Structures are given as structure tokens and as C-alpha cells.
Amino acid sequence: MKKVKLSDIAKMAGVSSITVSRALSTPEKVKADTCEKIQKIAQELGYIPNLMAKGLKSRSNTIGVIVPTIINPFFASAVKSIIRSANKTGYNCLFFTSDESQKIEQNAVNTLISYNIDGIIIAVISEDENYTPAYFSTLEKLHVPVVLLDRHIEAPHICGVYLDNVDSGYKLGKEVLLNNYQRVLIVSGSANSKVANSRLAGLKMAAEETHSNTIIDVIKADFNTQLAKELVQDYLSQHKPDAIIGLNNQITLGALEASVSHHYQLGADIHFYSIDEITTAKHFGISIPCIRHDVEEFGYHAVTQLIRAIESEQCDKLSDIIIRGTVVK
Amino acid sequence: MKKVKLSDIAKMAGVSSITVSRALSTPEKVKADTCEKIQKIAQELGYIPNLMAKGLKSRSNTIGVIVPTIINPFFASAVKSIIRSANKTGYNCLFFTSDESQKIEQNAVNTLISYNIDGIIIAVISEDENYTPAYFSTLEKLHVPVVLLDRHIEAPHICGVYLDNVDSGYKLGKEVLLNNYQRVLIVSGSANSKVANSRLAGLKMAAEETHSNTIIDVIKADFNTQLAKELVQDYLSQHKPDAIIGLNNQITLGALEASVSHHYQLGADIHFYSIDEITTAKHFGISIPCIRHDVEEFGYHAVTQLIRAIESEQCDKLSDIIIRGTVVK
DNA sequence: TTGAAAGCGCTAACAG
DNA sequence: CTGTTAGCGCTTTCAA
């Protein structure tokens, strides 16, 4: 059986296709009882509109979402909340992962353009402050609005939804320093990650303000588990900190694993703190005080900003939104 | 700036659009140097094909993927491997989550049909053996091939990629029974979940074969964390098992948490076993022997089967694929 | 309130 | 090897 199309319904209802089109998408433009009849027939035939045909003529009502990976629960939840927000507003989402590869990221953007998406929400691949991928100029030329997620890029006309990283660092620092630990290890992201550096700056602010005698060591790793684990293992063979602060969830996981391999008892010999929640910690009975961000909020703002940009056709005037986290013990 | 289209390239190259179309998608049908020239121009102009227009005429080369949630790492990895396999074969993926809701699932299917997808890979919302959603008949009528993922549904013409659940239960059972525990608790999925029941059957087979004196208790929960946690908490206030077997990763997490709340030391007072890997366990230094399934394999087969169905246009003749797990300590 | 015509960008079918 | 024609299903524009 072929797909039911507008003209099939039109034939049955004894009207033209355009009337059917109107009855289904702008019912106020069609006489009430015609409208009702058409909708009933559409229902019965199980009509499903062809977005390909629609998107060829008009806006697709679809937004593209790209994140580096869904294995990281932070992005998984962000995606979930974005999809939910978008659907509520009548937009579909096409979702891609860039898999930490610049090439795949570029492809994903191209594919989204291929699908005539109305706008893009993207968490770019790199934390590097100087990462400026080629596709930004393409998107700008095509007037496709972009909302950056979490990772900032220097581009004057692009708005974003970010975390208040300095604040996160500061709050977590205050929390840690309450304990008068002798030695604390901070495991940061890469040296040219703006996110990592801001979080670090916040921590340092807290430390300076507190005038504590705690010895604070800093390791620069990156935002993945593996490197953090290795570097913390090295560190632990020389020092024994009372607490370790991971500047994102992946780092904290790496630090935990390193500590386990040195036979420390988690949460007793060494206490852990994290920016980003370690959602599985509670299952293992380990308490990891953290900065939790309201991810629903995150998705909501990203979608709202994007849709405003789409519907006002002013990609370039929207402000950034900064989301502040809260300490959770 | 408007999007570059075939006719723009055609004009510049002094040929017709159809030649450009051929040069870009079936270059062997165009004279070599014309072809080269066209490709160069396309490159320079940054041509990105319009899939909406293409999909209107011909196959979209896009497959739809629906899973209940990406918060569950099993599905997250499955999606990842599906996307990777599909891209390798020249297919795009449109990805949706059904968020454990029948309505959202139905919508997702409709949206996919709207996008003219060539086929669908779906892990259905429910474990219930008798769940038969309405969209299956729609998809059948439209000749859209479907490959089921993980969760089986009784529909003669639909093939799937499943885990060998009996085998998983059996292998894990053997592993557990090596230890001569006095009392073991099995936390299963819901009573009418085929997956859960098969795993349970496998465990029982192992137990019968072993003639051990181990007392085996069974709790029927469901495949989510919360209920498992609550039921195990109740159980633990009456009995103290030496080991707990979770029949999927979410259940095991719930069981862990319940045990923590009863102040048992994980992996010492109570040992844990799981079907599906608990990927985070290693970060916490807890060893949870499990049945691990090769998720790459899973994605690969799902995509391969689907594409065979699409390209042969015989949706109904493909066999099921059963993936067997391995014990990982 | 409804309809007819035209066209979105691309490609299948057929000619040349 | 290349071009012409036509049409995919829908909506915009203009007219009735």
C-alpha cells in the first residue's frame, strides 16, 4: 500500500488538496464542518504528512542537535531535555553525535543542512578556546541560527547556554575547604580548555578567600576518564591527598579508579568532590559532594533561545544564558 | 545567501542539472573530465545536497532508530554502534527516544514515516510479551522493514537481533554456583517479560544441573532501578544472602543501593552478579562478574539485517540473530 | 471560504 | 555520455 497523501483525502472529501492542507495545519481558515469532515477522513486513513515535501516548500520545524557523545550522562540528559522541550513547542529534533571527531562533526552539520533544519544546538567537539570549525561561516551565510551548548566558542553572533563555571569552582572550593584537609588534589581539564580554566579559577578564588593552610596540587588532564586515571595514579605514588576534586564527571571517575588501584578506601582514606554529578555513586554507597546543574533548565533555555532566533529571524541578537549549579552533598 | 543547488553548479559548469546530479552521485555515468570539473565547482561553492528534495523522488538512504532511553548505557552504546555501522554503509540515522511512553513511541514512528525513512530499528517500550503496538501494521502496509532490537514481539514477518537470554542466565548461574554460597537472591524483571523469564530459566537450568544446596530466592521486580531497590530492601530486612544476581544492569544498581542502605559491604558481605555489564563498577573498585554482550556486534547485525531487507525489498524473509554473551569477571 | 497554478530541488525514464 | 520532461507531495500566491 502506498502512503496516504493529501490528494487521497481530498478525493474522498470532495475538495481540493489545498483545502485538506489547510484543514490539517490551519483549521481556522476552513469552514468548521468541512474541516471536521476532512480531519475525520484523515484520521481514518491514518494520514501521516510527508515532511520531505513540506520541508521543500516551507520551514521544516525541525532543529538539529549535536553533542560529542551520549555515553557521558551529562550530554545524555541534556539531549533528553532538549528533545522534550522542542517537542513541546512543536519542533522535531534530529540528533547526531560527533563522537569526538571533527570530521564527523562537520558531516553531522552538513547532514542537518541537508535536512533543511531551522536551527542547530551544538556542543562542539573541543574544549579548546581557539577551536573555530569551518561550518560556522556556512551556517551564518545560510542564516541558520546556532545555539552553543556548554562549550564556548569565540564568535560574536552566536549565542549559547553555558554553565557558570567560575561559580561552580568557587562553590565546590568553599565546600571542600570547610574540612581543613591537609592536602587536596585538583584534577583539571586540558590547559587550553576555557571551561576547565574557569572552574579552576573559581576554586582558586575560594582558596584565596579562605586563607586555609591546605596544600593544593593541580594536575592538568583532559575531560576524559583515561588520562585522568593515569595521571592520578602517578600522583598517588608520590603523595597521599585527603581529597580529590574532579573538574568534570569523567575526570572524577578516573580519579576514583586510580585511588582504588592504590587500595585506598573511597570516601574514607580519600574524599571525592566533583563538578557534575556522579549519578552512579549513590548505588555504591559513596558520597561525592558535587555541583549539580539543572539539566532540564539547560535544555529548556537552549531550545527557547534557538526558537526565538528562528522565529524572529535575528540570529545575532540573542544573549547568552548562564546556568548556575548548586552544591549537593 | 541562499543554498547552493544543482542548477547553480550546472550553470557554472555549462551543463544541465541532471549531469551535475550524476557527476555527484553516479560519477561513472559522466565523462571523466566533465565529472572532475563539476566536482571541483561543487566543492568550491560548498554544495550540500538537499535531502528533502532527494527523498521526495527516491529512497532517502535514512534509517530510523528508536530506543526507550539513552540514560541506560546499554542502549546508549547500542545506538552508538548502530549509527556507526549505518554511516559506514552510506545510511544516515534519525534517532528518537520513546522515553518509556507508548504515545511518544507512536509519535516517533510517525515522524520517521514522515521523513520517508527506508527502515526502522526499534527497541520497543515494553518487555511485555503481549505488547503489540498499532504502528506495526502501518509499517507493514507501507513496506517499511523493521528490525527489532533486544525486545521480542510476536509478529511473524518481523526479524530482530536479540540476546541469547537463556544462555546468559545459564552461564551466569554456573559462575555463581561455583562459589557454594548458602543463599542467593535473584532479582528478575517483571513476570510477563520474556527477556526476564528466559534469563531466569537459564539460571534455573544451571541450578538444576549443579545439584547444589544453595538456597535460591527469586524476586520479580522490573527492569528499572527503583522497584528493584525497594524490593531488595524489603528482602534484606528478612534475609541475608551471600550473593545477589541482577537480571539487568538497572536491577543490579538497585540491588547495590539497597545493600548499601542495609550497611553491607559490597563485594564482601554480599557479592554481586549481573546480566549486562555495570560499567561504572570498576571505578568504585567493586568487581561484579557479569554477562557482557558485544554491543558493536549488536549494532552491526541490526543495521546489516535492516539494509538487506531494504535493498532486497523482502521485509519478511530475514532470520533472527541471536547474540551470545560472555562471562566477564 | 475555496481552488488553480506554479514551483520547492532533485532524479527516473526516456531520448538524443 | 548528456539533455528534456515530468513529477515526487506539499504549500504559496493569486484569483474566484
Same domain, B170 and B260: yes
Confidence of residue A57 (pLDDT cuts 50, 70, 90): confident
- Return the pLDDT at A176: 92
Q: CB B209: neighbour CB atoms within 10 A?
A: 12
All three cell numbers of B189: 524483571
Asked, for residue A52, whether it belongs to a domain, the answer is: no
Contacts of B101 by beta carbon, 8 Å cutoff, 6+ apart: B125
Q: Which residues of A touch B48 (CB under 8 A)?
A: 110, 113-114, 138
A185-214 pLDDT, tens digit each: 999 999 888 889 999 999 999 988 888 888
- The percentage of residues in chain A with a pLDDT greater than 90, rounded to a whole number, is 61
Q: Is the CB of A21 under 7 A from strand D?
A: yes
Q: What is the CATH number of the domain that holds A238?
A: 3.40.50.2300
Beta-carbon separation of B50 and A114 below 8 A:
yes
Asked, for residue B142, whether it belongs to a domain, the answer is: yes
Same domain, B200 and B247: yes
What is the residue-averaged pLDDT of chain B?
Answer: 90
- Cα nearest neighbour of A97 on chain B: B80
**Distance from chain centroid for Cα A84:** 13
Q: Which long-range contacts (CB under 8 A, 24 or more apart) does B136-144 make?
A: B138/A46, B138/A48, B138/B109, B138/B113, B139/B109, B139/B113, B140/B315, B141/A1, B142/A1, B142/A2, B142/A3, B142/B113, B143/A1, B143/B313, B143/B315, B144/B113, B144/B117, B144/B118, B144/B119, B144/B120, B144/B315
Confidence of residue B314 (pLDDT cuts 50, 70, 90): low
Please give the radius of gyration of chain A, using alpha carbons only, rounded to the nearest integer: 25
Same domain, B70 and B131: yes
All three cell numbers of B289: 562478574
DSSP, residue by residue, B171-237: HHHHHHHTT--SEEEEEE--TTBHHHHHHHHHHHHHHHHHT---EEEEEE--SSHHHHHHHHHHHHT
A138-147 pLDDT, tens digit each: 998 888 999 9
Query: How much is the average pLDDT of A96-110?
Result: 91
Asked, for residue B53, whether it belongs to a domain, the answer is: no
Asked, for residue A53, whether it belongs to a domain, the answer is: no
Using the predicted structure, report yes or no on whether residue A275 has a pLDDT greater than 60: yes
- Return the pLDDT at A317: 67
Beta-carbon separation of A79 and B70 below 8 A:
yes
Q: Is the CB of A30 under 7 A from strand C?
A: yes
Same domain, B95 and B6: no
B289-301 pLDDT, tens digit each: 999 999 889 999 9
Does an H or E element contain A209, and which? helix A194-210
- Return the pLDDT at B154: 79
Q: Is the CB of B46 under 7 A from strand C?
A: no
Please give the radius of gyration of chain B, using alpha carbons only, rounded to the nearest integer: 25
Q: Are B7 and B17 in contact (CB under 8 A)?
A: yes
Same domain, B287 and B187: yes
Beta-carbon separation of A282 and B53 below 8 A:
no
Tally the domains of chain A: 3
Positions of E strands within A169-286: 183-188, 215-220, 243-246, 271-275
Contacts of A77 by beta carbon, 8 Å cutoff, 6+ apart: A295, B71
Q: How many residues does chain B have?
A: 329
Same domain, A109 and A192: no
Same domain, B152 and B196: no
Does an H or E element contain A43, and which? helix A32-45
Out of A83, A96, A142, whose CB is closest to B97? A83
Q: CA A47 to CA A30: how far, in whole Å?
A: 19
Out of A46, A114, A225, whose CB is closest to B138? A46
Helices (H) and strands (E) in chain A — how many of each?
12, 12
Domain that includes residue B318, residue range? 58-157+296-328
- Return the pLDDT at B128: 75
What is the residue-averaged pLDDT of chain A?
Answer: 90
Task: Report the gap between the CA of A90 and the closest CA in chain B (Å).
Answer: 12
Q: Which has the minimum average pLDDT: A266-280, B100-114, B126-140?
A: B126-140
Where on strand C do bases come within 7 A of a protein Cβ? Answer: 1-5, 7-13
* Three-state DSSP class for residue A271: strand
Residues 17-56 of chain A with CB under 8 A from chain B are 46, 48-53, 55-56
Query: How much is the average pLDDT of B199-216?
Result: 89
Using the predicted structure, report yes or no on whether residue A93 has a pLDDT greater than 60: yes
Strands B243-246 and B215-220: unpaired
Query: How much is the average pLDDT of B106-111?
Result: 93
All three cell numbers of A295: 539539566
Q: Is the CB of A16 under 7 A from strand C?
A: yes
Q: Which residues of B touch A71 (CB under 8 A)?
A: 73, 76-77, 80
Q: Is the CB of A237 under 7 A from strand D?
A: no
- Return the pLDDT at B60: 86
Using the predicted structure, report yes or no on whether residue A148 has a pLDDT greater than 90: yes
Beta-carbon separation of A111 and B99 below 8 A:
no
Confidence of residue B242 (pLDDT cuts 50, 70, 90): very high
- Return the pLDDT at B317: 67
Q: CA A244 to CA A78: how far, in whole Å?
A: 26
Same domain, B173 and B288: yes
Confidence of residue A20 (pLDDT cuts 50, 70, 90): very high
- Return the pLDDT at A278: 92
- Return the pLDDT at A128: 75
Using the predicted structure, report yes or no on whether residue A5 has a pLDDT greater than 80: yes
Residues 132-191 of chain B with CB under 8 A from chain A are 138, 141-143
Beta-carbon separation of A70 and B56 below 8 A:
no
Using the predicted structure, report yes or no on whether residue A228 has a pLDDT greater than 60: yes
Using the predicted structure, report yes or no on whether residue B84 has a pLDDT greater than 60: yes
Same domain, B71 and B153: yes
**Distance from chain centroid for Cα B135:** 19
B53-71 pLDDT, tens digit each: 998 888 888 999 999 998 8
Q: Which residues of B touch A283 (CB under 8 A)?
A: 225, 253-254, 256-257, 260
Q: What is the CATH number of the domain that holds A22?
A: 1.10.260.40
Residue B132 vs residue A76, higher pLDDT: A76
Whether residue A3 lies within 8 A of chain B, CB to CB, comes out as yes
Task: Report the gap between the CA of B310 and the closest CA in chain A (Å).
Answer: 16
Q: Which residue places its CA closest to the C1' of nucleotide D5? A: B18
Q: What are the beta bridge partners of residue A290?
A: A274, A328
Whether residue B210 lies within 8 A of chain A, CB to CB, comes out as no
Same domain, A122 and A212: no
Beta-carbon separation of B284 and A282 below 8 A:
no
A110-136 pLDDT, tens digit each: 999 999 999 999 999 877 777 888 898
- Return the pLDDT at B313: 66
Query: How much is the average pLDDT of B219-236?
Result: 93
Q: Which has the minimum average pLDDT: A33-47, A300-314, B302-316?
A: B302-316
Q: CA B192 to CA B199: how far, in whole Å?
A: 12
Q: How many residues does chain A have?
A: 329
Same domain, A238 and A288: yes
Confidence of residue A311 (pLDDT cuts 50, 70, 90): confident
Q: CA A37 to CA A27: how far, in whole Å?
A: 12
Using the predicted structure, report yes or no on whether residue A315 has a pLDDT greater than 80: no
Q: Is the CB of B29 under 7 A from strand D?
A: yes
Same domain, A324 and A227: no
Burial of B247 (0-12, 13-18, 19+ CB in 10 A): buried
Contacts of A96 by beta carbon, 8 Å cutoff, 6+ apart: A64, A65, A66, A108, A111, A112, B83, B95
Q: Is the CB of B115 under 7 A from strand D?
A: no
Asked, for residue A72, whether it belongs to a domain, the answer is: yes
Q: Are A235 and A178 in contact (CB under 8 A)?
A: no
Using the predicted structure, report yes or no on whether residue B315 has a pLDDT greater than 60: no
Q: CB B245: neighbour CB atoms within 10 A?
A: 30
Q: CA A206 to CA A171: how far, in whole Å?
A: 7
SS3 content of chain B, % helix, strand, coil (to 5): 45, 20, 35
How many CB pairs below 8 Å do chains A and B form together? Answer: 136
Residues 255-274 of chain B with CB under 8 A from chain A are 256-257, 260, 266
Best A24, A270, A284 member to test B by mutation, with max B CBs in 10 Å, is A284
Whether residue A110 lies within 8 A of chain B, CB to CB, comes out as yes
